[in-house]
Amino acid sequence: MRIARIFVAAAAMAVSGSAAMAWGDMYMGDATHNPNSNALVHSYNAPNYCPAGLQPVMAGGVICCGTPNAGAYVDRPGKVRRASTPKPKYRAPAARAYAPAGEKGVVYR
């Protein structure tokens, strides 16, 4: 009976500590992220209707006026899929009907 109490006590200690071990398991964000940091602003090749000293830039998918701090934005296409040419299918020759001389009826080969 004494061994059973020891096992029950050990099981209770193991279960009570599981919540404390799971406390830091959730994602709490990247500690190095600074929302006030300078994001990449790509130059964008478009007609320049911006005020003097500014040019079209793309920041976060939006085209606006500003000064770029990164290279030009390039929208590369994905993999180009080529249409395959259909392969000729093998077709068995059609059965031909012929009438042998001197026999009644038609024979199919």
Whether 19 is in a domain gets the answer no
Whether 107 is in a domain gets the answer no
Per the structure, the count of domains in the chain is 1
More confident residue, 69 or 95: 69
Whether 83 is in a domain gets the answer no
More confident residue, 11 or 29: 11
Whether 11 is in a domain gets the answer no
- Residue 47: pLDDT over 80: yes
- Residue 20: pLDDT over 60: no
Domain holding 52, by residue range, is: 38-74
More confident residue, 56 or 95: 56
**CB burial class (10 A; 0-12, 13-18, 19+) of residue 90?**
exposed
Query: What pTM value is reported for the model?
Result: 0.35
- Residue 6: pLDDT over 80: yes
Q: How large is the average pLDDT for residues 69-73?
A: 76
